[in-house]
Amino acid sequence: MSKIGEIIEASTSEFMAQCYELHQPPPFGSLVKAREGEIEIYGVVCDAATTSIEPGRHPIARGREEAEEEDVFRSSPQLAKLLRTDFSALIVGHKEGQKLYHYLPPRPARIHSFVYVCDAEEVEKFSQSFDFLSILVAAKGQADELIAASLRHAAQAQPDPRRFLVIAGKELAVLLGAEPNRLNTILRRIRR
């Protein structure tokens, strides 16, 4: 299991982590996890950004003379140290002992906890229940994009991705019973 970053801000519903590698956050909608003592906390990546390490200072354009984009960093190796990539994850469940819970953990993750990308096997296990969808449905911001991305991501880990998406879609149809427009938007983004 690969360590991808480290938590720098945490609440019971969300955490933010800094990536160890610049420009390489986990994909939007993918499943990540962090540990808090005995508890493993699962999140769905809901945002990622690369910014200057000093708040308020913006990088300036440097590539006018360069042939390739990579050359910008090659010419000024110190640049990578001035930038950081962060990502946020919406917490969708946790595991205590061997048991999975598709609802929020009792405590937030600790700062500096490592964040791991879940492998296919773990994604499949976690997505055996769709209870986490109700958390995503209620998310602020681009909830529908997030739901679609997370389902597409989880589908890749399934033996029968289409069937998985149909069942997920049916779950959403019930959750979004009063919001047929949202349902249509999501279904169009996950259809196969």
Partner 1 sequence: MSESLHNERRGENEKRLGLVVSGSLSRGVEVKLDSTTSVEDIAVGRYVTIEGEKGRFLGMITDIALDAIDSRLMTNPPEVSDPFIAEVVAGTSTFGRVHVQPQLTLGGDVSSLLEGPQSVKTVPAHFSVVKEASEQDVERVFGQVEEKQFWIGTPLDMEIKVRLNPTEFVKRSNGVFGKSGTGKTFLARLLLIGIVQENVAANLVFDMHSEYGWEGTSEEGRKVKGLKQLFPSKVAVFALDEESARRRKVSTDFVVEVGYDEIEPEDIEMLGETLNLTEASAQATYRLARHFGERQWLERFLALEGREELNELAKALGEHEATIAALRRRLEALRRLRFLVPHARDNAIQRILEYLDRGINVVLEFGRYDDITAYVLVANLLTRRIHAQYREKVERAMGEEIAKPKPLVITIEEAHKFLNPGIANQTIFGTIAREMRKYNVTLVVIDQRPSGIDEEVMSQMGTKITCLLDNERDIESVLTGVSGKSELKAVLSKLETKQQALIFGHAVPMPVVVRTREYGSPQSYKELGFREAIELKKEAEKELEDLWG
The 123-162 site mask, x for binding partner 1 (CB under 8 A), equals ---------------------------------------x
Q: Residue 96 to residues 35, 49, 126, 151: CA-CA distances in angstroms?
A: 10, 31, 13, 24
| Closest separation in Å from C-beta 162 to partner 1 | 7
SS3 99: strand
| Closest separation in Å from C-beta 81 to partner 1 | 47
Applying CB under 8 A, among 137, 139, 157, 183 the residue interacting with partner 1 is 183
Give the Cα separation of 70 and 63 in Å (integer): 9
Q: Which is nearer to partner 1, 56 or 177 (CB)?
A: 177
Give Rg (Cα) of the chain: 18
| Closest separation in Å from C-beta 183 to partner 1 | 7
Q: Which residues, at least 6 apart from 48, have a Cβ–Cβ distance to it below 8 Å?
A: 25, 26, 28, 85, 86, 87, 88
Give the Cα separation of 40 and 100 in Å (integer): 9
Q: Residue 170: how many CB atoms within 10 A of its CB? A: 11
Q: Which is nearer to partner 1, 19 or 172 (CB)?
A: 172
Judged by CB under 8 A, the chain residues 42 through 71 that form the site for partner 1 are: none
Q: Which is nearer to partner 1, 61 or 178 (CB)?
A: 178
Applying CB under 8 A, among 12, 143, 169, 182 the residue interacting with partner 1 is 169
Applying CB under 8 A, among 37, 174, 182, 189 the residue interacting with partner 1 is 174
Query: Phi and psi (nearest 5°) for 117?
Result: -85, 130
Residues in touch with partner 1 (CB under 8 A):
162, 165-166, 169-170, 172-174, 177-178, 180-181, 183-184, 187-188, 191-192
